[in-house]
Amino acid sequence: MSDVFVSYARPDEPRATEVAEALRELGYRVWRDDELPAHRAYAEVIEERLKSAKAVVVLWSAEAARSQWVRSEANCARSAGTLVQATLDGSIPPLPFDQIQCADLTGWDVHAETPGWRKLVASVAELAGTVEDKSPAPARNARRQLAVCVLPFQNMSGEVEQEYFSDGISEDITTDLSKVSALAVTARNTAFQFKGQSVDVCEVARKLDVSHVLEGSVRKAGGRVRITAQLIDGATGDHAWAERYDRDLNDIFAIQDEISKAIVDALKLKLLPEEKKAIEQHGTTNVDAYNLYLMARQYWINGDMGDPRRDERIIRLCRRAIEIDANYPQAWALMALAQSNLRYAYSGNEALDDGMAAAERALSLDPTIAEAYLPRAWHYSVRGRDEEANAELAAALRLNPDSWEVNKEAARIFYRQGRIQDAIELLEKSTGVMESDFTGWGMLAASYLGVGDLPRVQYCARKVIGQVEAALARDPENGSALAGGAISFAAVGQLDRSREWIERALLLDPDNLYMRFNLAWPLVVFFQDKERALELLEPVLAKAGANLIRLVAAERKFEPLREDARFREMLASALDRVGLAQSSTRPVAAQ
């Protein structure tokens, strides 16, 4: 009998064939339904093969999610404990399979050793056992031997508030190693899932399918820093390299360079000249500016998403960093992102800086910073200059296709352009990279609602609820978190709780025009309460700038309001006030 059963939808057969053949190359006995015998019943053979398989690889796609055969086969495998999941097009597996890890084969080249393929093979190996390496391509073996995960370094300073520094060191080393073309490096957010845990390094290596794991610790006190680092062989648990650095804080950049180069040497790799130069570039040589940037970056990643105060803190910290070092491109880029986010996502105040000047400065210093293209894309997008906006997004996606920020902001702009399916694909990627971003999950829910995919709307809504409850535990006055929760409770049918959260959000932040806009559409869609929706929109239409008025005019979820004379009158007045014609707006989603 077969080691591996491959389940797929008929339109995905070419991809399924590639997956099956790649597994056969690794020595597995693979069966899929092209091998059905002519003399036996289809269902009988399928059931027999499913029960005998050690691993059942289910290849999800939009088509597969609609296939009752694929769902049935996945359910049998789930019950038997043999299920291995992969997505071919970035689609999230349907309920209840969305609760199980899923490898990402989007864009997978059968000849490339991508993280998604490594994840799938590792799961198959765990269930079906490893096999003798019969005929894998030499490049594939070489790539597998050169994969590293940088675990978050432990903060040994005795002060929780110093966590940003140890996290920043870990992130910078990850970035440096990613510049080595011969080395596969686990993404920062994947590695940080182990933060604060006592882990078995060999188990981490097996789970992530890497050959080596780097772990360490940071102790910062006064003007001194002590960093320990050890590179561990994931197969044996032996140290491949270890070192302790006890230096002046001003040597922090030299220490990072030495760690990266020592790892390269330990793995017997040869750095190309441009890779060596890239590793040695840090953006700044000033430790004080670097320290402030790390603080700001920590707020950006771990701060309360959706809270304008988060962006205000980041702007202050980055501004101070560039006062110290005016040529620090990363600080300019992060400030630009926060300025753009504050203006276009939360406040609606068009007097605020949109980050364009800071983005231009960042790119003049380092044109390879993908995130610095995003404020420029927004600047063009809100002015209706879509072609220029899309050129900026293309540059950002080309420079860093796996960036959380790049995928999320590109999705927001595509949504405004009516490119809902494109927005969905990017948001699925961004939420996979940064699962704690409830605003991203909320945007994904709204996008799924735009294409009528209610099961996925509810899946995303449940994700939002879990994240906003954690955010509100830290800060009960986070109005954006309350609004996100209110919308999500409505999406899953908890209307009483949703209405309670709507009122709390408005009580805490009544002048937040973007929040009022976001709360109005669920009142229309889920409550059919047009009157309350109009009450929320009235100050928006009376005070908001052109960007938000354009969104109100174009939002298809407000279609039921267009029958109301009061809404038509308020909207016409608002469009006239900001200098927009009715014809300049267009739907951004189709119900």
pLDDT at 475 exceeding the cut of 60: yes
CATH number of 40's domain: 3.40.50.10140
Give the per-residue pLDDT at 70. Answer: 86
* Per-residue confidence band for 315, with pLDDT thresholds at 50, 70 and 90: very high
Is 37 part of a structural domain of the chain?
Answer: yes
- The number of CA neighbours under 13 Å toward the Cβ of 338 is 28
pLDDT at 577 exceeding the cut of 50: yes
Is 380 part of a structural domain of the chain?
Answer: no
Question: Angle CA(46)–CA(49)–CA(55) in degrees, nearest 5?
Answer: 120
* Per-residue confidence band for 312, with pLDDT thresholds at 50, 70 and 90: very high
Tokens of residue 76, six digits: 């049998």
pLDDT at 52 exceeding the cut of 90: no
Is 85 part of a structural domain of the chain?
Answer: yes
Give the per-residue pLDDT at 587. Answer: 47
Q: Does one domain contain both 110 and 209?
A: no
Q: Does one domain contain both 224 and 278?
A: yes
Burial of 313 (0-12, 13-18, 19+ CB in 10 A): middle
Give the integer Cα–Cα distance in Å for 188 and 440.
18
Domain that holds residue 99: 4-137
Conformational region of residue 104, where left means phi above 0, alpha means psi within -120 to 50, and beta covers everything else: beta
Give the integer Cα–Cα distance in Å for 56 and 59.
10
SS3 of residue 401 by DSSP: coil
Give the per-residue pLDDT at 392. Answer: 95
Looking at residues 568-583, what average pLDDT do you find? 84
> pLDDT for 344-394, tens place per residue?
876 667 778 999 999 999 999 999 999 999 999 999 998 889 999 999 999
Give the integer Cα–Cα distance in Å for 396 and 409.
10
Angle between the N-to-C axes of helices 495-508 and 479-491, in degrees from 0 to 180, rounded to the nearest 10: 160
Is 335 part of a structural domain of the chain?
Answer: no
SS3 of residue 332 by DSSP: helix
Q: Does one domain contain both 166 and 125?
A: no
Give the per-residue pLDDT at 455. Answer: 86
Tokens of residue 567, six digits: 């809404």
For the ranges 212-216, 316-320, 388-392, 578-582, the lowest mean pLDDT is seen at 578-582
Tokens of residue 455, six digits: 């099961």
Give the per-residue pLDDT at 110. Answer: 74
Q: What is the DSSP letter of 356?
A: H
318, 293 Cβ separation under 8 angstroms: yes
Give the integer Cα–Cα distance in Å for 355 and 377.
11
Domain boundary among 282, 297, 328: 282
CATH number of 187's domain: 3.40.50.10610
Give the per-residue pLDDT at 184. Answer: 85
Domain boundary among 282, 311, 340: 282
Q: Does one domain contain both 132 and 17?
A: yes
Looking at residues 216-235, what average pLDDT do you find? 89
Give the integer Cα–Cα distance in Å for 11 and 91.
15
Looking at residues 466-476, what average pLDDT do you find? 84
Is 247 part of a structural domain of the chain?
Answer: yes
pTM: 0.68
pLDDT at 39 exceeding the cut of 80: no
Q: Does one domain contain both 246 and 269?
A: yes
The dihedral built from the CA positions of residue 347, 392, 439 and 491, taken in this order, carries a sign that is positive
End-to-end CA distance of the chain: 48
SS3 of residue 415 by DSSP: helix
307, 480 Cβ separation under 8 angstroms: yes
> pLDDT for 127-157, tens place per residue?
888 764 433 333 333 334 588 999 999 988 8
Is 337 part of a structural domain of the chain?
Answer: no
104, 432 Cβ separation under 8 angstroms: yes
Mean pLDDT of the chain: 85
Q: Does one domain contain both 161 and 189?
A: yes
Give the per-residue pLDDT at 42. Answer: 53
Q: Does one domain contain both 131 and 166?
A: no
330, 282 Cβ separation under 8 angstroms: no
Share of the chain above pLDDT 70, in %: 92
Write the DSSP string, 535-587: HHHHHHHHH--HHHHHHHHH-GGGGGGGG-HHHHHHHHHHHHHHT--GGG---
> pLDDT for 79-122, tens place per residue?
788 899 999 988 888 878 877 888 888 878 776 678 888 889 88
Q: Does one domain contain both 162 and 128?
A: no
The one-letter code for the residue type at 525 is V
Give Cβ neighbours of residue 367 (< 8 Å, ≥ 6 apart). Answer: none
Q: Does one domain contain both 160 and 128?
A: no
Q: Does one domain contain both 80 and 171?
A: no
Q: Does one domain contain both 8 and 68?
A: yes
Looking at residues 411-417, what average pLDDT do you find? 91
Q: What is the DSSP letter of 436?
A: T
Size of the chain in residues: 591
Give the per-residue pLDDT at 136. Answer: 39
Domain boundary among 233, 256, 282: 282
Nearest to 456 by CA among 71, 69, 92: 92
Q: What is the DSSP letter of 583?
A: G
Q: Does one domain contain both 25 and 77?
A: yes
Buried b (16+ CB within 10 A) or exposed e, 256-290: bbbbbbbbbeebeeebeeebbebbeebbbebbebb
Give the integer Cα–Cα distance in Å for 531 and 511.
19
Is 273 part of a structural domain of the chain?
Answer: yes
> pLDDT for 144-200, tens place per residue?
458 899 999 998 887 777 788 888 889 889 888 888 888 888 877 778 878 888 888
Is 119 part of a structural domain of the chain?
Answer: yes
Burial of 168 (0-12, 13-18, 19+ CB in 10 A): buried
**Element containing residue 121 per DSSP (H, E):** helix 115-128
Number of domains forming the structure of the chain:
2
For residues 104, 110, 112, 113, the Cα torsion angle rounded to the nearest 10 degrees is 50
CB atoms < 10 A from the CB of 451, how many? 15
Using omega within 30 degrees of 0 as the cis cutoff, is the peptide bond preceding 455 cis? no
pLDDT at 338 exceeding the cut of 90: yes
